[in-house]
Amino acid sequence: MQGAALGRGGSSPYFFLSYAHTPNHDSGGADPNVWVKKLYDGLCEHIMELTDLPRGAKVGFLDQGMAVGTKWTDELSVNLARCKVFVPLYSPRYFISEQCGREWWAFSQRQVNHRARGGIARESAIIPALWVPVEPAQMPQVARDLQFNHATFGQDYADEGFYGLTKLRYLRDEYERAVYRLAKQIVRVANDAALDEGKFSKDYESLPAAFGSAEHPPEFDISVLACTRSDLPQGRKPDYYGDRPHDWNPYHPESTLPLGDHAADLVRTMDYKVNVGALDDNSRMLRQEKPKAPGLMLLDRWALESTKGKDLMGKLCEEQRPWVSVMIPRHRNDIVPAEKEQHLEEITYRTLVPRLADGAGHCAANGSIRDLDAFGSELQRAVASAVFYYWEHIETYPPEGPPIKPPRLKGPDLG
């Protein structure tokens, strides 16, 4: 499997062109994806002219060998982790491709982590391009949320997409104009974004896809149980807290965002509508005997020192709610005296002991979530578990309307 224009050395490509391969309609036909390669080559030529990249530098990445059913390569993973801009090439086939969904998801994690670490991004480093125009109703939520005015590259381009401009000869000038304008946009955003390098993965098939699936709940609940600066236990530093439980940021100073907001950003990249709030008596998590949505509980161990916090968490754990995963993060530098640490471990264990049974749901309480990267990895497992148990416990309803008697089968008429 070869990538186009991989270049030399370990430099970062300006862009990663993500597209869904079009299969041949017959065994003897020409490869229909040659037109995508033409678009890619045109972008690379313009970017070389618009920048001071030296000869042999890595301009972009286009995977030309990944057919349906093949596995990811290290080359693809490295370029996703290093590229400055991600360019999804929209088509109806694109949004039903798990491979394309994973590419989108992998790049979006870099943007989410960049924001959590205080990075300033004036706009998204995802620049959508139209291969074939797609109606908003055909797009997943993550694409609909990415507002982009395609008409800035030309109205004919917005109406026809690159494929249409390629095939209609009288629009050849419009094609060249749209390619050039896209290249300019890539260069501008690449210079502004300054994303950190992402993580390489050799097992992308296990990662979420940004476009969901047929068995994909529409909503996801996140609740936070944490102290505030006004009710801190004795000896607890206020660095990780704010005026509301929702302000809890256990990864300070590595992260500048409240953990609930960061978790919501990560879950949204999996194509969920996310509801975030502090755990209280009115929370949907505590009111539902049957799941209305899969969920995630973010627990600050120190909150269990208060009667209210212990009661709320006890209510969540006393009933079997395996569709709610529990995570108990703390930063590696959040060191407490040994005696206090033992006390926190004991009250956490006593409160969560019902969650430790088989089939009780995901519970990450072993102190392993010590930084933002570990949190992101554990969150993937927590979400997958919550969704699994959601489908196992959700109520199913018969279709609306009066009941219909099943048909009776009759033997053949031998009359």
User: What residues does each domain of the chain span?
Assistant: 3-206, 219-393
The helix (H) or strand (E) run that includes residue 79 is helix 74-82
Q: Note the pLDDT tens digit of each residue in 15-71.
A: 999 999 888 776 566 677 899 999 999 999 999 999 999 988 889 999 876 544 445
The number of helices, as runs of H, and strands, as runs of E, in the chain is: 11, 10
> The tokens of 298 are what?
């973010």
Looking at residue 41, its pLDDT comes to 96
Q: Distance between CA 350 and CA 318 in Å, rounded?
A: 11
- pLDDT number for residue 370: 92
Of 226, 254, 224, whose CA–CA distance to 238 is shortest? 226
| End-to-end Cα spacing for the chain | 66
- pTM reported for the whole predicted model: 0.84
For tokens 């992101």, the residue is: 376
Q: Is the Cα torsion angle 136, 140, 145, 147 positive or negative in sign?
A: negative
Q: For every one of its 415 residues, what pLDDT tens digit does the chain have, with 9 covering 90 and above?
A: 334 433 333 468 999 999 998 887 765 666 778 999 999 999 999 999 999 999 888 899 998 765 444 455 678 888 999 999 999 999 999 999 988 999 999 999 999 999 999 887 678 999 999 999 999 988 998 999 888 999 999 999 999 999 999 999 899 999 999 999 999 999 999 988 888 888 777 666 677 888 876 667 889 999 999 999 999 998 898 999 999 999 999 999 999 999 999 999 999 999 999 999 999 998 989 887 788 999 999 999 999 999 999 999 999 998 889 999 999 999 999 999 999 999 999 999 999 998 888 888 999 866 779 999 999 999 999 999 999 999 999 876 555 556 666 556 555 555 4
CA–CA separation, 140 vs 384, rounded Å?
19
Domains 3-206 and 219-393 share a fold: yes
User: Which H helix or E strand runs over 90?
Assistant: strand 85-90
Residue 371: name the closest of 407, 331, 322 by CA. Answer: 331
pLDDT score at 218: 83
* Phi, psi dihedrals of residue 242, rounded to the nearest 5°: -135, -155
- In this prediction, residue 413 carries a pLDDT of 55
Give the DSSP H or E segment for 166: helix 155-167
User: How far apart are alpha carbons 371 and 332 in whole angstroms?
Assistant: 7
Of 3.90.1070, 3.90.320, 3.40.1000, 3.40.50, which CATH number belongs to 3-206? Answer: 3.40.50
Among 6, 8, 70, 67, smallest CA distance to 40 is for 6
The label of the residue with tokens 């693809």 reads 76
Q: Which residues contact 316 (CB under 8 A, 6 or more apart)?
A: 279, 285, 286, 297, 324
> Which overall architecture, per CATH, does domain 219-393 show?
3-Layer(aba) Sandwich (3.40)
Q: What is the pLDDT of residue 348?
A: 94
